[in-house]
Amino acid sequence: MAAEVSVAYKDYLAGLAAGVATVITGHPFDTVKVKLQKHHTDVHGIKYNNALHCTTRILKNEGVKGLYRGATSSFVGMAFESSLLFGVYSQTKQLLLEEAPNNSRPQLQVVIPSAAFGGALISFILCPSELVKCRMQVQGTDSLVPRSDRYAGPLDCALKTLKNEGVTGVFRGGFATLLRESIGNAVFFSTYEYSRYYMQLLLNSSFSNHSNQSKALIDVGVGIVSGGISGMAFWSAVLPIDVAKTVIQTTPDRSSSTNPFRVLHSIHSKAGIRGCYAGFGPTLMRAFPANAAAIVTWEFTAKILGIKRE
């Protein structure tokens, strides 16, 4: 029993390290994505021509710190979220594998429910964290938000939201977040497990006589590629839901619909399919390095902690 608790603790610790790596690598891309989603779907029209134009405007008007606007809440949220996601995924997968027939290949009947369950759980942490992050990100120099309504910082944003909108306001966009995370992580971990398995199979047979150092480099390379393409698969699958979530959480009219499907229908009628995929470019640009960093950090930390991968 003590050994099981020890392994579980290590799973969560490895996940926390992955979350920190994700924010450091991916937050600037996320800021650009959120700004594009907000302004491409806003009734006031398109503010930025593309991701490069948006990035240039941020750097010119706000400097590098503008790209990391809202990063404080992101660090807190992502650390807990990633720890819970990777920990729950690993523990649930281990539990389901005990009931599944022995097979070295990844099993979708194990991976999908484990990942979806982990994704559903983390949505309750992510929703308030991302609400604060998104509201901070959209209020830069180019923001349509009146200066009198802007927040001094993440804590000010959280407190004012709680005061003005109550607990339900803090969890605004919760259903959209739950959909995004449960579906997205099922896609993410399925892609990761299969791509990792087949790449390891191919490379290990090709480099079977190489040194341990070479094999370690191969593991890092596999982690980078499998993590990167898994992140891209995640966002390709759920970006429209994420666009709806951003609009729900940042709209000035707090009485507007929180139904992601109704919001997506409204976005499509105003901005077409382009509006539903607003921020797609910077999202994919972020997805590869951020998730590659997360997976490599997760696997490296797990190896240091002595966690045996299935």
Structural domains of the chain ordered from first start: 2-304 (1.50.40.10)
Question: Residue 63 above 90 pLDDT?
Answer: no
Contacts of 240 (CB under 8 A, 6+ apart): 264, 276, 277
Contacts of 141 (CB under 8 A, 6+ apart): 57, 61, 62, 66
Q: Give the global pTM.
A: 0.83
pLDDT band at 138 (very low <50, low <70, confident <90, very high): confident
Tokens of residue 270, six digits: 């105003």
Query: What is the greatest pairwise CA distance in the chain?
Result: 66
pLDDT digits (tens, 9 = 90+) for 189-210: 999 999 999 998 888 777 666 6
The predicted structure's pLDDT at residue 283:
85
Phi, psi of 163 (to 5 degrees): -70, -45
Residue 215, amino acid: K
Mean local confidence (pLDDT), 128-150: 75
Question: What does the angle CA 195 – CA 30 – CA 264 come to, to the nearest 5 degrees?
Answer: 90
pLDDT band at 169 (very low <50, low <70, confident <90, very high): very high
Rounded Cα distance between 89 and 203, Å, is 26
Rounded Cα distance between 8 and 154, Å, is 31
Q: Comparing 101-115, 195-209, 227-241, 247-261, which segment has the lowest mean pLDDT?
A: 195-209
pLDDT band at 66 (very low <50, low <70, confident <90, very high): confident
Question: What angle, 0 to 180 degrees and rounded to 10, lies between the N-to-C axes of helices 108-137 and 71-99?
Answer: 170
Question: Residue 219 above 70 pLDDT?
Answer: yes
The predicted structure's pLDDT at residue 143:
57
Question: What does the angle CA 10 – CA 12 – CA 17 come to, to the nearest 5 degrees?
Answer: 95
CB atoms within 10 A of CB 142: 16
pLDDT digits (tens, 9 = 90+) for 256-292: 889 999 999 999 998 899 889 988 888 888 899 999 9
Phi, psi of 154 (to 5 degrees): -60, -40
Rounded Cα distance between 192 and 86, Å, is 13
The predicted structure's pLDDT at residue 42:
55
The predicted structure's pLDDT at residue 9:
83
Indicate the average pLDDT of the chain: 86
Q: Comparing 37-51, 55-69, 205-219, which segment has the lowest mean pLDDT?
A: 37-51
Q: Is 45 left (phi over 0), alpha (psi -120 to 50) or beta?
A: left
Question: Residue 30 above 70 pLDDT?
Answer: yes
pLDDT band at 2 (very low <50, low <70, confident <90, very high): very low
CB atoms within 10 A of CB 285: 17
Q: Comparing 96-100, 247-251, 269-273, which segment has the lowest mean pLDDT?
A: 96-100
Mean local confidence (pLDDT), 248-253: 87
Question: Residue 141 above 60 pLDDT?
Answer: no
The predicted structure's pLDDT at residue 75:
76
